[in-house]
Structure 1
């Protein structure tokens, strides 16, 4: 519920606020219960139940004046939305919509090129397809964005869709469907490794471990094993291990004095959610329901889309879909050697088989490296937030050089650095504009909360 301004609070997810003459009341109006599992007879019943709920969610978000846009990346999430929407329109207009236009970001990089899958979806349903080039934001673009919204600029993986949104707006599109939410609610939890180990479900453990090793771009096998074992240890042991390993990235990046002044560790601990009685996987699912990071990215995506008068809509984030997914057994979220089992089964006959059964997905982290390069070679070398005592001097430059070296050698270790660098870059640009730049007087009466 915190914001960058002290005393200015955000309403938490699923909460309502009423303001009366003498009081202010905030209460939670909606929650999920992952422990109340659905018990259908077989995979087909789970798939049919999901398809019914998902169709309602999609139909509700297709309300527009004649035309609606949709992302089509070639992945299973956006392909499911585009295909099902086109299928619904075959029976006539839906909520005022009689036409759907698909949009694809064209990346020449082999790890991001999904044109083969996109063509199969387009061919199956006859979808009009618009191909846009990804946008690599330059510093003037980021500065202009901060001046407009007085907030952090878009991260590279969000800014890359700016040109696509502009093209959609030029076609008269005012509502655009996106696939966000499929990963969050239907992919299963990485904590399942610990659940499987605790329950001695060794075959399930090995299948999941092998999948993560092959298709997850980040952790090593050692990291995966540690992630399976550490959550099963007593809480005091876990804290000791994290301290010994230096698992707090904030302590590595942020100035020790700043950490102490801001009380960051205490504030994080204060807001940490705990869910006694739930499995580790279900607790992980529930924590995502009120995830601050998800809300932060939503706000950024909506700001960018609204700048060209488009409303982004996400069927997978429909309350009915979330409630259904929460009650799924874990094997329906991550089935026999593959994630999103229930979605894959629900899309039988709707998606091309090559898309429905694909296990890999496009990898777009190179966009971060290319964007940082556009900022200029000395951007991370001399930073105002280091001089202000927020970030350790020389640490951003070291991290950037290391990420660049890993990327040039084709080592995926660079992935560990891209998000810390993205955060540092965004705060630096914001700091220069709002604190040091021409907009500082507008915030003179506000107290910044680090």
Structure 2
């Protein structure tokens, strides 16, 4: 696990300033405290920060091939590198090291871009071939590891693991993309299809670019995608057995390390499953780490304690207190782009705790997307079943009228809160799911924006790209399409961004065994009844784990990392909320000050909970102030 950075001359073979590459590395020292290296040649400069995990002394980077014709910088882990190494040795390859980096080089020399399909793991790398004069940039299937790039006015393409590394280059512009503001206000993060800064791009998950000097920068090429178009056959028990076998193999492959290794343990199904399988594969006690809250309704540590006791782990836990709101600016610096998933705070805290005891930690991320664990997916599936019973015209008319007439009742028990369901049923499946996922709904966003900012959007809405993605998905059903959107948008944009930045901020490697691509591909073929039954998601996984985990762990309502943002914004952050109405966002001309004031007053008075949107605005304001160094401006291009 490391950080990479580099400069590529798209116009020719001009000299690259080594000091500039090193400056980009120095912007993110947390990604590689164990080593730093740079290499330059005409037209190319590569830099690497190392967090040593495997072959601790033998795999420094940038790494040359045996013949010196290839140079690599690599962030991530290749879990099947030992098998690939043996295969390549049988074909005549020779290796100097015992790590996975050299295997990528040999795979490129043997198979070219086709090498990617043979790599099992998480990765973002830059490989320069001196003979072909090409730069090969690649990102793993699900987007576990990030890769930012920007083409500068002088023809230099700069790239790095974090946006802060690109910001270290003096040639990078700082104009804000208005469409990214709309995206952020929709989702609470800036999706991979865009960046907060005009001209900066993110290589999408499962894509690569092959660049040549003197040629235009090509569009990314997709080398992997997930398909929900096929259905597996077999009994419940045979599919459950296959699921367990696949998960066990994924966990075992991610336990290889030459440094201390442990796991995050929340007490939910996913982390408990990973810990159970780690315990079964290890002769030593598993090290587990949990975070709790001093708000009893949000605290899950009792469940984590039960799993730790059941599997006799060496367990550590820490509480997040009400004073943790003071770390808002730390989160802003950690993520660079505005990021409003409030669970980033406890994620960072549990990473801090883990790093005190281990260098690698396994997480349970990925199962909710792969196996339909989110409650919203079960609801969407049931709504789609209703949509299938009625002609669209009748459905829009009947449920549209009910949605307008029925009171909101946000305070009432869930069965009585039918207004949102009626409104959703009046919409097409894809539109309804995008609306469900959005943090701040389109009508609310429209009321917050100034007229000038609305014009700069040119009719663009943040939900548009997801709706199009779902309609074009290789899928059979609405549930398939919703899961596809989660895997392609929400997972890399929110969940994996959160875990990567929070873990690397403390120099911890996080591994996600439930995102093994073979597990993802298996889950995508499962019949819908194996994923969702009634209101129960991840049904087959819960059924398969019954022999190993308690019933109340398997079937209790999903909580996740919930942070008391609403209370903070009525308490210690109330002043910060008020300041938004007169701060940089209003001064920029993007937002209507009276609309923000009304939003703040509504929350502080207790008339409604508008904390999620207020948290977005707070994170946006502080992120942009840091990014632009008080030069906030919107690009009109």
- In structure 1, the residue matched to 2:231 is 37
Mapped partners of 2:565, 2:335: distance in 1: 23
Equivalent pair of 2:340/2:616 in contact (CA under 8 Å): no
Report the alpha carbon displacement of residue 350 of structure 1 after superposing the two structures with TM.
1.4
- In structure 2, the residue matched to 1:127 is 313
Name the stretch that deviates more: 134-143 or 419-428. Answer: 134-143
Higher helix share: 1
**Paired residues for 1:36-435 under 5 Å:** 36-41=230-235, 43-89=236-282, 92=283, 98-134=284-320, 141-144=327-330, 146=332, 150-152=336-338, 155-171=341-357, 173-186=358-371, 187=373, 188-200=377-389, 220-231=417-428, 247-263=442-458, 265=460, 269=464, 272-273=468-469, 274-275=471-472, 278-291=476-489, 294-361=492-559, 364-370=562-568, 373-377=571-575, 378-406=578-606, 414=609, 417-435=610-628
Cα distance per residue 1:367-425 (max 9 Å; x no partner): 4532674334233342210121122213334323333444xx8xxx62xx333222211
Higher strand share: 2
- In structure 2, the residue matched to 1:6 is 198
Cα distance per residue 1:201-228 (max 9 Å; x no partner): 9xxxxxxxxxxx9xx9899322123323
Mapped partners of 1:144, 1:325: distance in 2: 37
CA distance 1:362–1:218, shift in 2 (3 Å): farther
> Partner of 1:102: helix, strand, or coil?
strand
Equivalent pair of 1:138/1:375 in contact (CA under 8 Å): no
- TM-score, reference length from structure 1: 0.79
Mapped partners of 1:355, 1:180: distance in 2: 17
Cα distance per residue 1:230-274 (max 9 Å; x no partner): 2269x9x999xxxxxx84432122223112213361675356312
CA distance 1:147–1:105, shift in 2 (3 Å): closer
Equivalent pair of 1:38/1:328 in contact (CA under 8 Å): yes
Q: CA RMSD in A?
A: 3.5
> Partner of 1:351: helix, strand, or coil?
coil
CA distance 1:399–1:185, shift in 2 (3 Å): farther
Equivalent pair of 2:342/2:562 in contact (CA under 8 Å): no
CA distance 1:138–1:77, shift in 2 (3 Å): closer
Mapped partners of 2:634, 2:583: distance in 1: 22
Mapped partners of 2:322, 2:635: distance in 1: 30
Answer 1 or 2: higher relative contact order, Cα 8 Å, separation at least 6: 1
In our comparison, the structure showing a higher alpha carbon Rg is 2
Structure 2, unaligned runs of 5 or more? 1-192, 391-409, 435-440
> Partner of 1:5: helix, strand, or coil?
coil
Mapped partners of 1:363, 1:142: distance in 2: 16
Mapped partners of 2:275, 2:416: distance in 1: 32
Structure 1, unaligned runs of 5 or more? 93-97, 202-212, 240-245
Cα distance per residue 1:142-175 (max 9 Å; x no partner): 435545664336743211233332222222x111
Equivalent pair of 1:136/1:371 in contact (CA under 8 Å): no
- TM-score, reference length from structure 2: 0.57
Name the stretch that deviates more: 142-151 or 373-382. Answer: 142-151
Equivalent pair of 2:574/2:604 in contact (CA under 8 Å): no
> Partner of 1:133: helix, strand, or coil?
strand
> Partner of 1:258: helix, strand, or coil?
helix
